[in-house]
Amino acid sequence: MIIMETDATPEQIARVIDEIHKHGLRADVIKGEFRSVIGLIGDELRISFDILSVLPGVKEVVRVERPYKLVSREYGEFFDSPHKHRRIKVGNVTIGGSEPIFIAGPCAVESKQQLFRIAEDVKKAGAHILRGGIFKPRSSVHSFQGLGAINGEMAEETLNWLRDAGNMFEMPVVSEIRGEIHVDLMAKYVDILQIGARNMYDQDLLTKVARKKKPVLFKRHFGAGIEEFLSFAEYIAAEGNKDIILCERGILPLGKGKEYTRYTLDLAAVPAIQKETYLPVIVDPSHSTGRRDLIFNMSCAAIAAGATGLMIEVHYDPSASLVDAKQAITPDELKNTIDACLKIHKLMRPVATKTKAKPDEKVKG
Amino acid sequence: MIIMETDATPEQIARVIDEIHKHGLRADVIKGEFRSVIGLIGDELRISFDILSVLPGVKEVVRVERPYKLVSREYGEFFDSPHKHRRIKVGNVTIGGSEPIFIAGPCAVESKQQLFRIAEDVKKAGAHILRGGIFKPRSSVHSFQGLGAINGEMAEETLNWLRDAGNMFEMPVVSEIRGEIHVDLMAKYVDILQIGARNMYDQDLLTKVARKKKPVLFKRHFGAGIEEFLSFAEYIAAEGNKDIILCERGILPLGKGKEYTRYTLDLAAVPAIQKETYLPVIVDPSHSTGRRDLIFNMSCAAIAAGATGLMIEVHYDPSASLVDAKQAITPDELKNTIDACLKIHKLMRPVATKTKAKPDEKVKG
Amino acid sequence: MIIMETDATPEQIARVIDEIHKHGLRADVIKGEFRSVIGLIGDELRISFDILSVLPGVKEVVRVERPYKLVSREYGEFFDSPHKHRRIKVGNVTIGGSEPIFIAGPCAVESKQQLFRIAEDVKKAGAHILRGGIFKPRSSVHSFQGLGAINGEMAEETLNWLRDAGNMFEMPVVSEIRGEIHVDLMAKYVDILQIGARNMYDQDLLTKVARKKKPVLFKRHFGAGIEEFLSFAEYIAAEGNKDIILCERGILPLGKGKEYTRYTLDLAAVPAIQKETYLPVIVDPSHSTGRRDLIFNMSCAAIAAGATGLMIEVHYDPSASLVDAKQAITPDELKNTIDACLKIHKLMRPVATKTKAKPDEKVKG
Amino acid sequence: MIIMETDATPEQIARVIDEIHKHGLRADVIKGEFRSVIGLIGDELRISFDILSVLPGVKEVVRVERPYKLVSREYGEFFDSPHKHRRIKVGNVTIGGSEPIFIAGPCAVESKQQLFRIAEDVKKAGAHILRGGIFKPRSSVHSFQGLGAINGEMAEETLNWLRDAGNMFEMPVVSEIRGEIHVDLMAKYVDILQIGARNMYDQDLLTKVARKKKPVLFKRHFGAGIEEFLSFAEYIAAEGNKDIILCERGILPLGKGKEYTRYTLDLAAVPAIQKETYLPVIVDPSHSTGRRDLIFNMSCAAIAAGATGLMIEVHYDPSASLVDAKQAITPDELKNTIDACLKIHKLMRPVATKTKAKPDEKVKG
């Protein structure tokens, strides 16, 4: 992390970037109101910090001792000072702003009729963003893989429905990208590109998605620690795309005997991650618990833990869902959940901000 | 589970119990307002359900297909019908009642002065029950093991302090029992006997503690699934003691790299356990996160998840604690936490009860 | 699984396949010496087994009650009867044959000189197949990603070295494919396409790699159970490619405190997997332990557990490796390891076969 | 760890011990051939190393930076120099000696006839030590708890059978102690006191068992890391009892879906633990896999990994076992297993010792 003098010239900045490129690294440049900051991308050991620190216009070179640097709170404070989180705008919705955001919709898009009916329902219930799976990652090749997986024509048609439903009910749309081959197609239709838990470690997919310059909803793998989760988010940030929404969706359950929840929802990870990064964190209570009867409580708990939003699966007839029938809630249940969450969020706010100390001088970027 | 006729005579009940004893099993008898119910303790395969069902006065014999039976919600509905949980009364405090209960105090009792000062502080902050470790289970024989572990005289003196502090500030007291050799001594002084996570599997300790007929605070082991947790609670219930407070305190963390929380707090286990049993469930945010800066959020989240109480470590000077210095909060922080939790609980209540359907005819016991 | 009559005509077989396609499923056809067997690929619920069983030429329709069917031992017995495993031939090497196979080489290719020197060394030590990482999956974007990741020209040049080294020292070569974008390129140069642990769940990558019709070395994810591992291998088999070498490489470590091994090598998974599938299983002691001083013992243990091969990282100067320096062994150590493993394998063989019962009538395919 | 001069007088040693006691710590004294070494037990922070190092007769004070000190290899080298492990003698058997030791017998003692028949069988098959469970730790209060749990008279009678069977077939006997209340009774009858996995963390039980001055078979908890395992073994060593046989018996399985082994046998822990401590390590393939058909392979693998012994459950009619019927093998299978293990051990020995470097000057104690 190279902090430039307040009066550093564009030429001086270019000179630093040149030096960085010369050693095979890349540069992430933040132009602030008062000063610029340059982040290194690549193996720091290949460049001498002593040389960088004496280049003209350089005020200070700071080493960030973590595998994640560009997404660290430390780095983010140079461009996100007035807010607790980065605010990510999609259409007329702001994720990471003063209000929690609710993403809702069917697990899988099953038909145009099903999608439009649910879209209308979730909008009425208070949701802000519409979700809908088109390519479903499945454990078995013998299971339904999503309408998009049938053939290319079907994929495009289904994406069109999603786009239209979003437009009609005024909600940005999000859908999961399962493989690199779908990135271009998906980016044409959806507003937020989701990378699912199983693909968290797929660095080539991360890089390709990041380059679309659209917000990325990035889910934690069920076997990943927090450090790893942020280290892989760094692959997205390294492409210059910091509009990353982190999503906790449960880790592997532990212990012998019957499983009472599908995964272990790691809610303490929410405030723990928020201390490490400026990226907003949301929670998926649907996949983590796998139980419709726990969604209400765990949604409220997630907001109380500090989540900036929720991603919930909704179906007008949950038991008829083609995928994950046990975890979808009805639109009425969604409304109850959103109402309770908004009240809890309101109640938490003043207390939460009390504990926040802000550094004085900051740059925006 | 043997359901008797409403007009079954005491002789008929005795006859059933006799039959049970004859096969080497034990009986748990609930005398209700309308009818009695008898639970079997031991290996059901050793007794014929056909024979039991034709005994005079027997209405119905129901097989409970789970390793836990006496603590199951199904069984509890015969004596706890009007309430969501069993209500456990200790002094003037009711655990599992309409208000959440806060257990607070130092991790380890370090001195009389320390204990009394913290007791006064937590009482003012709104706590209902005083905790204080006297025999500390520790990973290393080279660590401080609690004042009680120094010698027998010291153990008795420290327990006296705890008793006196409880009396003076009108709070029942709870302390952990680490081994069978301390059960008699501890039971003389404390109101609630705690069995720590590491001893969850220690069935001989469970049995011995249960026989003291005092409420038991029973913590989930960090490697135990929910089924195992309830199966071991059953060892306590099998001694006729159903005053069991279950406590979630985090399971083993997963994933490579730095650990950001000491354990993974499994909050979805709270509502999941509550669907299985009538026993009240509380949460320990202190040991689970191991981080003072996460206690506020995770306490609120626990209440939102449906916990009936919290157990929190408090110290007027957290960094000076002899044990677990990183996780204690100050009395002021405790007050903030309790205030927020009470508000969330109030807000959750009406919604939570809406979803509760009650069976019609029930017996009390 | 549709078992045809011994005298079923090609037309009858085509008729069955037609019926399968009509319902949106695919067919896997095994033409045996005596009879043909047809496996279904896709959701079985979409087709009526009653209809299939009355088609002309059909002897029997068998439902396989597992998420993996094509890779199950049950299915494999129709074409692999005389052997314990499927025998996969690559050049002059047979994986799954009567002798254990040793795959060795550098973790990452660092230079032409390094690769050729190690290739020569491991050949002399007794290795059969040469490994060399060109695109390295890494936890941090700031780490060395392999020579192939620098640019396309470099990727091609490095792959050329690997090909040449394989040719010169007469060893087939294997290298990991990290993303779908490299599949075509890699398939041009390497004999065995490796899918790393982190990509195990990447079904689109699996499908694309499978279609290259080259043997696939498929590693178990560190958070995957055996059922999941085989279910994802099924994605490869579903493309008609059954030349799959399964590789156990350790699962997530558990428990508090210092980690003494990088992952937990799950050796009991080796015989457990072998009971489920006809695919050969090898073990990677290098990544699983992460410790050079454990490779000898754990290699011997893997062979004793029943592994049909090992994949070991070797460097003439382990501490100078650019990647995973702590786990590479020297060529001398490799020789000792291979020698001991061969002796153990010889010793195990007669005992192991004693317990094997063989079905009578089988078809080859 | 205080290393005394070779000519230190008994008075000087006593003076050092005095100083240690004065600060509330305990001392572990090893009188060697050439010199004495004193280990500290308790919180080292309470004593000044500067003061200790200037006491007369003290050569050097060494700080061991691990939670386990008395069981560390470093400390052990002062009294166990010529051997790789501590050699623990029980009757005419030496655990940790040049030959692997096989402990075998029924999971639970079911009758005198059953025990004697199996004892005779395992002796013939080559076993050295007889095992037999009398108090069985069980997950459910409704399961068979062992004959000893029925009543005190039965406990004593069953222990008598075990003692007699051991005497008759000339094998030392081992049985598990489940709670502190049975320590005195068990120590009267059995030669090796077993502490089961579930009691690993029960430090009061460990202390009480250690004081019996009999060898302790100490099993790793299924959720414990290696550091914790050794730290709790330290509780036994701290009572002056270093005759501890460590036993790996599997850790919690991980991953979704069906479980193919009961626990995950962590075989790499065997050599990893052996590098840390001089205590011998054995493996229990029965409880870890829970599968009779994996015992042969995993026993061989354990010996190849470096285990100094095995503990295997045997029954002449495995499917009729009252406890853990799926994992017992027959006496014939035991014989095959022992034969193969002895061959593998013989084969491993010369290679294994090659890598062993020995310190020069050592004391015995």
Cβ-based interface (< 8 Å): residues of A facing C: 24, 40-44, 67-69, 137-144, 150, 178-182, 198-199, 201-205, 208, 221-223, 228, 231-232, 234-235, 238, 252
**Partner-chain contact D43 B179, CB within 8 Å:** no
Q: Given this model, what pLDDT does residue C350 score?
A: 59
pLDDT interval class at D57 (50, 70, 90): very high
Average pLDDT over residues A87-107: 95
pLDDT above 80 for A252? yes
Which residue, among C52, C352, A235, B135, has the nearest Cα to D300 in the 3D structure? Answer: C352
Measured CA angle at C281 (ends C280, C285), to 5 deg: 150
Which partners does chain C have (≥3 C-beta pairs < 8 Å)? A, B, D
pLDDT above 80 for A306? yes
Residue bearing the bigger pLDDT, C336 or C257: C336
**Mean pLDDT taken over chain A:** 90
Residue bearing the bigger pLDDT, C247 or D7: C247
Q: What is the pLDDT of residues B10-47, one digit of tens each?
A: 999 999 999 999 988 899 988 877 788 899 898 777 88
Q: How far is D34 from chain B (nearest CA, A)?
A: 28
Q: Given this model, what pLDDT does residue C269 score?
A: 98
> Looking at beta carbons, which residues of chain A come within 8 Å of D139?
256-257
pLDDT interval class at B80 (50, 70, 90): low
pLDDT above 60 for A40? yes
Could you tell me the sign of the dihedral formed by the alpha carbons of C37, C39, C45, C46, in that order? negative
pLDDT above 50 for C352? no
Q: Given this model, what pLDDT does residue D81 score?
A: 53
Candidates D142, D252, D264: best to mutate against B (most CBs of B within 10 A) is: D142
The span from the CA of D64 to the CA of D37, in Å, is: 13
pLDDT interval class at D30 (50, 70, 90): confident
> Looking at beta carbons, which residues of chain D come within 8 Å of A255?
252
Average pLDDT over residues D190-199: 97
**Partner-chain contact C224 D272, CB within 8 Å:** no
Q: Tell me which of A31-40, A186-195, C76-85 is least confident.
A: C76-85
Report in angstroms the alpha-carbon separations of D345 from A8, C338, D35, D90, D98: 70, 16, 35, 21, 9
Average pLDDT over residues C203-213: 96
**Partner-chain contact C252 B255, CB within 8 Å:** yes
Q: Given this model, what pLDDT does residue D354 score?
A: 43
State the count of interchain CB pairs (< 8 A) between A and D.
11
Which partners does chain D have (≥3 C-beta pairs < 8 Å)? A, B, C
Cβ-based interface (< 8 Å): residues of B facing C: 139, 252, 254-257
Q: Which strands sit side by side in the sheet containing C2-4, from one edge to the other? A: C26-31, C36-41, C2-4, C58-61
Average pLDDT over residues A270-293: 96
* Residue corresponding to tokens 């500390």: B136
Which residue, among C148, C138, C113, C114, has the nearest Cα to C318 in the 3D structure? Answer: C114
**Partner-chain contact A268 B258, CB within 8 Å:** no
Report in angstroms the alpha-carbon separations of B259 from B321, C69, C258, D168: 22, 39, 11, 54
Q: How far is A241 from chain B (nearest CA, A)?
A: 25
Alpha-helix residue ranges (DSSP H) falling in chain B:
10-22, 49-53, 73-76, 112-125, 152-168, 183-189, 203-210, 226-237, 269-276, 285-289, 295-305, 331-354
Q: Given this model, what pLDDT does residue B355 score?
A: 42
Cβ-based interface (< 8 Å): residues of A facing D: 139, 252, 254-257
* Residue corresponding to tokens 């009999």: D214
**Partner-chain contact B298 A271, CB within 8 Å:** yes
DSSP 8-state secondary structure symbol assigned to residue C329: B
Q: How far is A271 from chain B (nearest CA, A)?
A: 7
Q: Given this model, what pLDDT does residue C24 score?
A: 85
Q: What is the pLDDT of residues C276-303, one digit of tens each?
A: 999 999 999 999 999 999 999 999 999 9
Q: What is the pLDDT of residues C217-256, one digit of tens each?
A: 999 999 999 999 999 999 999 999 999 999 999 999 998 8
Q: Across the interface, which of A228, A264, A304 has its CB nearest the CB of B304?
A: A304
**Partner-chain contact A69 C142, CB within 8 Å:** yes
**Mean pLDDT taken over chain D:** 90
> Looking at beta carbons, which residues of chain C come within 8 Å of D305?
297-298, 300-301
> Looking at beta carbons, which residues of chain D come within 8 Å of C348?
300, 340
Contact indicator for B325, B319 with CB cutoff of 8 Å:
yes
Amino acid at A183: V
Is this prediction's ipTM beyond 0.85? Answer: yes
> Looking at beta carbons, which residues of chain D come within 8 Å of B182?
204
Phi, psi dihedrals of residue C216, rounded to the nearest 5°: -115, 125
Q: Across the interface, which of C67, C138, C179 has its CB nearest the CB of A180?
A: C179
Report in angstroms the alpha-carbon separations of C3 from B30, B254, B326, C77, C137: 59, 45, 66, 12, 43
**Partner-chain contact C222 A223, CB within 8 Å:** yes
Task: Outline where DSSP puts E strands in chain D.
Answer: 2-4, 26-31, 36-41, 58-61, 88-90, 93-95, 101-105, 129-131, 173-176, 192-195, 216-219, 244-248, 281-283, 309-313
**Partner-chain contact B272 A254, CB within 8 Å:** no
> C-alpha dihedral over D282, D286, D291, D297, to 10 degrees?
30
pLDDT above 80 for C351? no
Residue bearing the bigger pLDDT, D142 or A209: A209
Which partners does chain B have (≥3 C-beta pairs < 8 Å)? A, C, D
> Looking at beta carbons, which residues of chain A come within 8 Å of D255?
252
Candidates B139, B249, B256: best to mutate against C (most CBs of C within 10 A) is: B256
For residue D248, give the 3-state DSSP assignment.
strand
Residue bearing the bigger pLDDT, D43 or C363: D43
Q: Tell me which of B206-220, C58-72, C246-260, D74-88 is least confident.
A: D74-88
Q: Tell me which of A309-318, C344-353, D100-109 is least confident.
A: C344-353
> Looking at beta carbons, which residues of chain A come within 8 Å of B294?
268, 271-272
Residue of C nearest to A69 (CA): C142
pLDDT above 80 for A80? no
Which residue, among A315, A322, A198, has the nearest Cα to A263 in the 3D structure? Answer: A198
Candidates C256, C258, C259, C288: best to mutate against B (most CBs of B within 10 A) is: C256
Contact indicator for B94, B301 with CB cutoff of 8 Å:
no
**Partner-chain contact B252 C255, CB within 8 Å:** yes
pLDDT above 80 for A349? no
Q: Tell me which of A338-352, B118-132, C263-277, D282-296 is least confident.
A: A338-352
Q: Given this model, what pLDDT does residue A361 score?
A: 34
Measured CA angle at C226 (ends C224, C229), to 5 deg: 65
Report in angstroms the alpha-carbon separations of D275 from C260, C341, D84, D226: 10, 22, 10, 11
**Partner-chain contact A298 B305, CB within 8 Å:** yes
> Looking at beta carbons, which residues of chain C come within 8 Å of A208?
179, 181
pLDDT above 70 for A81? no
**Partner-chain contact C254 B255, CB within 8 Å:** no
Q: How far is A255 from chain B (nearest CA, A)?
A: 4
